[in-house]
């Protein structure tokens, strides 16, 4: 545990918010890997030259790859409690006493009551620290029955483009060896999560004209028109819901559409002349989110033409701002089966928060989320991780890193010797 805590301390001190220059944390992480056994490459972020992600891998011929995916960036200190909520277990939330104000120095690790406080301690520097510490304890990495490929993104908390960019560069180098699977080290309380619900965020915008409430016919009530669009979008979701059964492995267990924010130019005794309505759709792998969005976009185009015929200043817009796909790795998959056996876990559910995991799943790589800490601490002031969670993570990785002389007991030995691929 001492080595893990020391690594975590250094990561917390050096972590930055994207797109700040993250050279400090990159240099520290690189020094943790022996250049005789690992290739370490920093890759410039696709949208910002100050920030870089990392690809770290072994290069043993004829051995398949196990991928670990994480992110080095952290959430801003002045967060607004944008946590993922109660996503999986029937446990009481562990919200901090001061949700917007740190009681400890956010950029310095503080130990108290068997907890480690610090920005990113839970999401997800603790996971990275435990993995690196366990890896450093090996006598000889080259005795592993499989290769390791480690992808560390630099923008997961912001735009989620780094992981795809890194995987696109890594994949051609390792695909011929075969890929066992990918473990995304997000905080899951060391429970194997076999999927992630999809998320789509967008905006409905209507521009009309303000009028006095006594003469609404002299203007255009933008809120009424925006409500028509949202009702249409909601009905599309309801239609999709009827066509697919609920999946209790996800929370919520079906497609769900809701309003996140409404901005208007409302004034006393005046109709609303313009409105911006932000929405969010949570969906499961079985739902055709693209069909829903396509139908709604068509509806808005027709509405926009109708409004412009009334007045050239009127208009309707429908914009998709963020879109994260859903995925599931079925429990009968050998990768899930082996991990479940190791963790003594027979029942599986999926994550209700967003992460980079779909990037790997969409490539055909068996993907799960598994890491120390509770997602309820993510993005919170006074973010912390329990020490016992770090210890569980260490135990997990050391079991995966059993050396060659014990390889028949290694979790992935039978998969590795058959060069299991997608």
Q: Is residue 422 part of a domain?
A: no
- CB burial string 218-228: b at 16+ within 10 A, e below: ebbbbbebbbb
162 and 54 in a common domain:
yes
Please name the residue that has the structure tokens 């990918």. 182
End position of a domain, from candidates 324, 354, 380: 324
The pLDDT value recorded for residue 89 is: 30
- Domain housing 148: 2-195+326-417
226 and 133 in a common domain:
no
313 and 274 in a common domain:
yes
What is the Cα–Cα distance from 89 to 320, expressed in whole angstroms?
Answer: 31
Greatest C-alpha distance within the chain: 86
For position 165, which CATH number holds? Answer: 3.40.630.10
In tens, the pLDDT along 372-407 reads: 999 999 988 899 999 999 999 999 999 888 755 555
In tens, the pLDDT along 184-201 reads: 999 999 999 999 999 999
Q: Is residue 311 part of a domain?
A: yes
**pTM above the 0.85 mark?**
yes
- Tell me 231's DSSP state: H
Domain count, the chain: 2
93 and 186 in a common domain:
yes
Q: Is residue 173 part of a domain?
A: yes
List the structure tokens of 252: 């919520």
End position of a domain, from candidates 290, 324, 358: 324
174 and 41 in a common domain:
yes
Which portions of the chain are predicted below pLDDT 70?
Answer: 78-100, 403-411, 413-422
For position 203, which CATH number holds? Answer: 3.30.70.360
End position of a domain, from candidates 295, 324, 353: 324
The pLDDT value recorded for residue 411 is: 63
């Amino acid at each position: 545990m001492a080595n893990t805590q020391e690594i975590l301390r250094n990561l917390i001190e050096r972590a930055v918010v994207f797109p700040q220059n993250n050279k400090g944390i990159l240099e520290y992480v690189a020094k943790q890997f022996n250049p005789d056994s690992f290739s370490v490459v920093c890759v410039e972020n696709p949208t910002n030259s100050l920030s870089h992600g990392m690809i770290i891998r072994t290069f043993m011929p004829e051995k398949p790859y196990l991928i670990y995916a994480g992110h080095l960036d952290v959430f801003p200190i002045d967060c607004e409690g944008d946590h993922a909520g109660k996503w999986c277990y029937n446990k009481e939330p562990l919200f901090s006493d001061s949700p917007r104000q740190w009681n400890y120095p956010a950029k310095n690790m503080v130990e108290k009551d068997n907890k480690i406080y610090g920005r990113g301690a839970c999401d997800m520097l603790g996971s990275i620290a435990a993995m690196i510490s366990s890896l450093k304890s090996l006598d000889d990495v080259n005795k592993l029955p499989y290769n390791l490929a480690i992808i560390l993104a630099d923008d997961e908390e912001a735009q989620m483009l780094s992981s795809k960019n890194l995987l696109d560069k890594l994949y051609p180098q390792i695909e011929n060896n075969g890929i066992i699977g990918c473990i995304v080290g997000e905080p899951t309380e060391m429970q194997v999560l076999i999927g992630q619900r999809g998320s789509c965020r967008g905006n409905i915008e209507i521009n009309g004209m303000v009028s006095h409430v006594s003469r609404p016919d002299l203007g255009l009530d933008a809120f009424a028109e925006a409500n028509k669009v949202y009702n249409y979008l909601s009905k599309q979701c309801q239609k999709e819901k009827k066509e697919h059964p609920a999946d209790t492995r996800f929370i919520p267990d079906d497609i769900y559409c809701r309003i996140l924010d409404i901005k208007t130019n409302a004034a006393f005794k005046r109709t609303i002349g313009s409105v911006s309505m932000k929405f969010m759709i949570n969906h499961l792998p079985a739902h055709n989110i693209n069909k829903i969005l396509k139908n709604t976009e068509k509806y808005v185009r027709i509405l926009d033409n109708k409004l412009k015929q009334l007045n050239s200043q009127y208009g309707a817009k429908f914009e998709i701002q963020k879109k994260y796909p859903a995925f599931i790795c079925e429990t009968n998959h050998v990768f899930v089966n082996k991990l479940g056996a190791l963790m003594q876990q027979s029942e599986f559910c999926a994550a209700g928060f967003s992460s980079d995991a779909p990037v790997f799943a969409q490539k055909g790589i068996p993907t799960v989320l598994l890491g120390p800490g509770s997602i309820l601490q993510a993005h919170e002031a006074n973010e912390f991780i329990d020490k016992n969670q770090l210890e569980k993570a260490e135990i997990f990785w050391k079991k995966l890193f059993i050396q060659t002389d014990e390889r028949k007991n290694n979790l992935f030995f039978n998969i590795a010797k058959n060069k299991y691929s997608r």
